[in-house]
Copies of this chain bind each other. A is one copy, B any other.
Amino acid sequence: MARNIRVEKLTQTPIEKQEIEIVERKGVGHPDSMADGFAEAVSRALCKEYIKKCGTVLHHNTDQVEVVAGRSHPQYRGGELISPIYVLLVGRATKEFNEIRIPTDTTAVRAARQYLDSTLPDIDVEHNIIIDCKLGSGSTDLQGVFKRGKAPMSNDTSFGVGYAPLSETEQIVYNTERQMVLNFKKDLPAIGTDIKVMGMRKNDKITLTVACAMIGKYIDDLSHYISTKEELRDKICDLAMGYTDREVEVFINTADDEESGSIYLTVTGTSAEMGDDGSVGRGNRCNGLITPNRPMSMEATSGKNPINHVGKLYNLLSNRIANDIAKNVPGIQDVHIRILSQIGKPIDQPLIASAQVIPEEGANMAMIKSESEAIIDQWLADVTKMTEMIANGEIETF
């Protein structure tokens, strides 16, 4: 059956030419991102365990993880937690299948601990965090879903969205957080994982407001804290220069009151240690950003099953498609993708797959249409490949 694909020319000021642009990224240690990260780590581990035990991925959704803040007493050169951070791995998973029992909850706990070790190493797993797990049994029967040679049925009437390419501001905001964690921390160990980068472009001036939880044990005193912020500011400015010729201004921890000593100091590098809770699906969209100038979906991507949950699949797919079109089809300034499912219909047959294209001046819109349609059609035909890539952890979800 021919797919319902629609490529439309959009008359719109392209993102780089709009006067005001706002872009946000929450770092991996932000409580909302922590929830996303645990949710997706658990889903991946369940996928692997299901494949190992049953030969196929079974129904699960672990997208209700909650991070409940602890209480801390940060200090220069040290500090300690009063109450641990509490992480509740919650959701639903198939616990038995053809008389095979799947160790869902122990798998989830192990996955969460491994995620903690690899991604949030400054949180001492011994006594600074509690990882609890209460997975319910799923009610949905996904067995019918796996008929050879056929795509699964959509679990819901829902849509995914994506766009490409990233604007300068988007690239800067994304990479600022990434480089802080992956590189700058080598020189500045006090950098925590709870980072929030807010980028605001006003014509040709980009203002970055960065909140970064500093880790007390690596900071000697207030002057050390201040110099750390200064070094960090320089590094971020240098980084931004690599992506833009526009003017860039960087603010770090603007709520600090250095005179009174009220600064952003933590024990573990995340505000989850003191008062800030987190939930899945309330932070970054699946391209790692929050972008009110751009089309977005409300669906939580992390933790959902990659088999038939269109809220996950169509968002990741839309971004892949958008990137693919932006890269391979000539003459495009911006492309927006939306894919809408109808519950109970095959996932490779959406109700609509829509592309909105802002072409470059003089571009051949007919060719853009036909090439874009072909790309969309191919991705939909290959939608189950997405499932594999997600289960293998090849695709980031926040």
Contacts and interface: CB of A to CB of B under 8 A. Distances in A.
Interface string A272-314: 0011010111110100001011011111100000000000000
Contacts of A56: none
Contacts of A10: 12-13, 18
Interface string A246-257: 000001001100
B159 A22 contact: yes
Interface string A13-33: 100001110101000000000
A295 B297 contact: no
Contact of A275 (B92, B106, B254, B281): B92
A371 interface: no
Contact of A103 (B13, B80, B285): B80
A342 B103 contact: no
Contact of A106 (B84, B139, B254): B84
A86 interface: yes
A179 interface: no
A354 to B, nearest CB: 4
Given A64-B277, A103-B73, A254-B342, A159 B202 contact: no
A62 to B, nearest CB: 11
Nearest to A161: B292
Interface stretch (A125-133, A216-224, A387-395): A125-133
A202 B352 contact: yes
Tell me the number of copies of this protein: 4
Given A127-B109, A254-B342, A82 B95 contact: yes
Contact of A298 (B105, B109, B140, B282): B282
A192 interface: no
B132 A109 contact: no
Given A11-B11, A73-B101, 15 more contacts: A20-B354, A81-B103, A82-B106, A84-B133, A91-B277, A109-B126, A113-B127, A130-B133, A132-B132, A157-B209, A159-B292, A207-B351, A279-B282, A285-B298, A296-B298
Given A12-B11, A277-B91, A280-B279, A200 B22 contact: no
B200 A351 contact: yes
B298 A295 contact: no
A102 interface: yes
A59 to B, nearest CB: 10
A136 B8 CA distance: 50
Interface residues of A, number: 91
A20 B64 CA distance: 31
B282 A292 contact: no
A164 to B, nearest CB: 15
Nearest to A345: B254
Interface string A168-202: 00000000000000000000000000001010101
Contacts of A128: 106
A8 B21 CA distance: 12
A20 to B, nearest CB: 4
Contacts of A282: 279, 281-282, 298-300
A72 B10 CA distance: 47
Nearest to A107: B127
